[in-house]
Amino acid sequence: MRLAELPVPTPAHDQYLVKVEAAGLNFLDTLAIKGRYQTKPALPFTPGVEVVGTIVSGEGAGTRVACATPAGRFGGFAEYALVPHAEAMPIASDVAPGAALALRGNYPTSLYALRHAGRLQAGETLLVHAGAGGVGSAAVQLGKLMGARVIATAGSAAKRDACLTLGADATINYTDARWVDEVRKLAPQGVDVIYDPVGGDIGAQSVRCLAFGARLLVVGFASGALTALPANRLLLANASAVGVLWGEVRKREPALARQLGEEIQGWYLSGRIRPLEASVFDFEDAPAALAALERRQTSGKAILLLRR
């Protein structure tokens, strides 16, 4: 990956041109760069699927927004990006860019996952993997807001402490080979909902933590490996595994996506949720930032900041 000078793009009739303040870093960027993401953009391409910045074209000019780039097009790691009108969420000037991107993507993803896909109920036990990450930290806070008992996993003491500050009732080190046993000590009957953005071996081992009738939410594969689920464990627990892809929800159910986004904004403005402090990298350090994300060395929302 290298920096290059390109012409400022021209927006279509249903797009805004946004002057980028910060771009979100996501695991799908690392996969796309390696040619391993399900959407394979033609080379060369500009990574980045979400930005916060100011509209500089058309009727909304001057409005600060957090937004997604066109589906399958990427383009966020740039000074200017094109975004569909429907994907631009106005954001107040005093909201930090990392928080803005978390409120636009991480929190609605987790709210949809827990409420709609996972059917989480008050009093149930929720296990959140990578609880100090972007979507994981949102899931911890929202799980508590929904009345669940929350167990969060994280790979370092600092990240486990961060999970506790978010409201987690207990934390576990998932790099410990005995982490499943630790979960079973805290929840002898198993957990009701598992929120898994990690995948790989963590996802496969998670089925040993399922309570009867539990729901395993497949949110992503931050480990870089797909989850090979032992289906017999789902059978024995009468459990279900449910995929969660927020981008498809936004595309197929835009009214629901807007409703969830408005709920999240309301909770933020009332102080009921507070995103973790973002992991901020300079724009020029994008390769190192993506490497840190891939090694799980970031916490909260990871962003590239354009310093002008």
Based on the domain organization, do 284 and 243 belong to the same domain? no
Confirm whether 62 is domain-assigned. Answer: yes
Number of domains in the chain: 2
Based on the domain organization, do 35 and 133 belong to the same domain? no
User: Distance between CA atoms of 228 and 231, rounded to whole angstroms?
Assistant: 9
pLDDT, mean of residues 290-300:
92
The percentage of residues in the chain with a pLDDT greater than 90, rounded to a whole number, is 85
pLDDT reported for residue 251: 87
Based on the domain organization, do 209 and 239 belong to the same domain? yes
- pTM attached to this predicted model: 0.93
User: Distance between CA atoms of 180 and 152, rounded to whole angstroms?
Assistant: 12
Domain extent at residue 141: 106-247
Model confidence at 114: pLDDT above 90: yes
Based on the domain organization, do 92 and 111 belong to the same domain? no
More confident site: 251 or 129:
129
pLDDT reported for residue 208: 97
The percentage of residues in the chain with a pLDDT greater than 70, rounded to a whole number, is 99
Query: Which two three-digit tokens encode residue 101?
Result: 């991107």
Based on the domain organization, do 187 and 238 belong to the same domain? yes
| Banded pLDDT at 3 (limits 50, 70, 90) | confident
Confirm whether 10 is domain-assigned. Answer: no
Based on the domain organization, do 68 and 190 belong to the same domain? no
Confirm whether 215 is domain-assigned. Answer: yes
| Banded pLDDT at 217 (limits 50, 70, 90) | very high
Based on the domain organization, do 165 and 221 belong to the same domain? yes
**CATH number, domain containing residue 37:** 3.90.180.10
User: Distance between CA atoms of 1 and 201, rounded to whole angstroms?
Assistant: 29
Among 129, 116, 166, 124, residue whose Cα is nearest residue 149: 124
Confirm whether 3 is domain-assigned. Answer: no
Model confidence at 45: pLDDT above 80: yes
Q: Compute φ and ψ for 8, nearest 5 degrees.
A: -65, 130
Q: pLDDT (tens digit, 9 = 90+) per residue, 163-183?
A: 999 999 999 999 999 999 999
Among candidate residues 229, 247, 265, the one where a domain is terminated: 247
Residues near 35 by Cβ (< 8 Å), separated by ≥ 6? none
Based on the domain organization, do 236 and 142 belong to the same domain? yes
Confirm whether 34 is domain-assigned. Answer: yes
3-state secondary structure 114-131: HHHHCCCCCCCEEEECCC
pLDDT reported for residue 72: 65
Based on the domain organization, do 37 and 119 belong to the same domain? no
Based on the domain organization, do 207 and 154 belong to the same domain? yes
pLDDT reported for residue 220: 93
Based on the domain organization, do 150 and 179 belong to the same domain? yes
Confirm whether 65 is domain-assigned. Answer: yes
Model confidence at 308: pLDDT above 60: no
Confirm whether 5 is domain-assigned. Answer: no
**CATH number, domain containing residue 171:** 3.40.50.720
Model confidence at 149: pLDDT above 60: yes
Q: How many CB atoms lie within 10 A of CB 278?
A: 24
| Banded pLDDT at 134 (limits 50, 70, 90) | very high
Confirm whether 272 is domain-assigned. Answer: no
